[in-house]
Amino acid sequence: MPPNGQSVHGGGGGLVSPTAAPAPSSKMDCFLTSVCTPLNLQFIDVAYRVKVERTAGPAKEPPGRISHSGGGGGGLGGVSAAVEERTILKGITGEARPGEVLAVLGPSGSGKSTLLSILGGRLAGRYSGTVLTGGRAPCRAVQRRTGFVAQDDILHPHLTVRETLAFCAMLRLPTSAPTSAKLAAADAVIAELGLGACADTIVGNAFVRGVSGGERKRVSIGHELLVNPSLLVLDEPTSGLDSTAASRLVATLSALARKGRTVVLSVHQPSSRVYRAFDSVLLLSEGSCMYYGPGRDAMDYFASVGFAPGFHVNPADFMLDLANALLRRSTAIARRREAASSSRCSRLTPGSSPPR
């Protein structure tokens, strides 16, 4: 019995042996479709900053020469290090509702993974703003009902799909649950994610031949699905997949959301077929929000502010083009400011003649 589930008799949370209760219609009915407590996720004015050390000093040493730093404090080899603050997220606000899929779009470096780490509870206490789950601050009970799927698949390549999920069930499900219930939970996840055809195939990796990339990603999702989460956060689950595999994966996530779960995922460049599966869209550029709202209304919004495509295009491609254009413009401005600042600093360094 997963932590988010209930007993068959609906009593005080005790575990009932599968043989003592009437047999359900299917394994999925007794595990994944039984009870999933709805969890509304809100994030208000979320900001995240990091401190970066930038060195400023004399010219670099020639290649192959080893420079020795002195014992005095204040840098490497007499080079002073200036600590500056870099803003990754700038006041992001939005909401993810039960039964819906919220997609976070944006170019590389826009802050998608950082935002998902905050929403998944991976950066607790290291950001500003408010994150509410069910109208209250996140707690350990909410963390137990949250599943986080990282961008990279960390799986044992020599175990089969069934062995991988069974091993995970033995570790993550309550110790009071019998082994038969844990194995049944693993079989239910296999059936729910459509992994029955490859259940006895090894997972594999880049060096060991195994299941396909889409199936391997579904195994990673199955790791988190074993605890029957109310909130499922996925960091770029379609990366490395072709259009058909990505569409099938997002359709699976959409089906999971329709059963009462809250699904939040980041996508780098979805196809039009994948984009139609998103209920809400959050578009980021350089840590700022360019659009938040229903995915079907995004093109109308940008047309209302003067950005309308000249021909029919994939909405996701058009939105990413806008985000990248803003990124290129701000990057060019930042480079010009940095060049002007470096020029002023070089005129004021010791040994140089003052400006006339």
Overall fold of domain 37-46+84-145+231-343: Rossmann fold (3.40.50)
Which tokens is 149 given? 């799927």
With contact defined as beta carbons under 8 Å apart, do 188 and 27 qualify?
yes
CA distance 196 to 166: 14
With contact defined as beta carbons under 8 Å apart, do 184 and 228 qualify?
no
- Residue 211 has a pLDDT of 94
* Nearest Cα to Cα of residue 256 among 231, 237, 281: 231
- Residue 41 has a pLDDT of 94
- Residue 327 has a pLDDT of 56
With contact defined as beta carbons under 8 Å apart, do 1 and 7 qualify?
yes
Q: What is the distance, to the nearest Å, from the Cα of residue 136 to the centroid of all Cα atoms in its chain?
A: 22
* Nearest Cα to Cα of residue 191 among 29, 350, 49, 51: 29
* Nearest Cα to Cα of residue 341 among 110, 82, 88, 86: 82
What's the pLDDT tens digit per position in 81-98?
677 888 999 999 999 999
Q: What is the distance, to the nearest Å, from the Cα of residue 352 to the centroid of all Cα atoms in its chain?
A: 50
Mean pLDDT of 153-176: 93
CA distance 239 to 234: 11
Distances (CA, A) of 188 to 12, 56, 176, 193, 226: 24, 58, 19, 9, 9
Residue span(s) of the chain under CATH 3.40.50.300 come to 37-46+84-145+231-343
Mean pLDDT of 207-231: 92
What's the pLDDT tens digit per position in 326-354?
656 655 555 666 666 665 555 555 555 54
- The neighbouring-strand residues paired with 76 are 79
| Among the ranges given (33-37, 60-64, 213-217, 326-330), the one the predictor scored with the smallest mean pLDDT | 60-64
Q: What is the distance, to the nearest Å, from the Cα of residue 350 to the centroid of all Cα atoms in its chain?
A: 48
With contact defined as beta carbons under 8 Å apart, do 27 and 77 qualify?
no
CA distance 341 to 344: 5
Read off the pTM: 0.75
- Residue 240 has a pLDDT of 83
Which tokens is 73 given? 């404090």
Residue 10, helix vs strand vs coil: coil
CA distance 229 to 192: 14
What's the pLDDT tens digit per position in 246-293?
999 999 999 999 989 999 999 988 999 999 999 999 999 989 999 999
Mean pLDDT of 136-157: 89
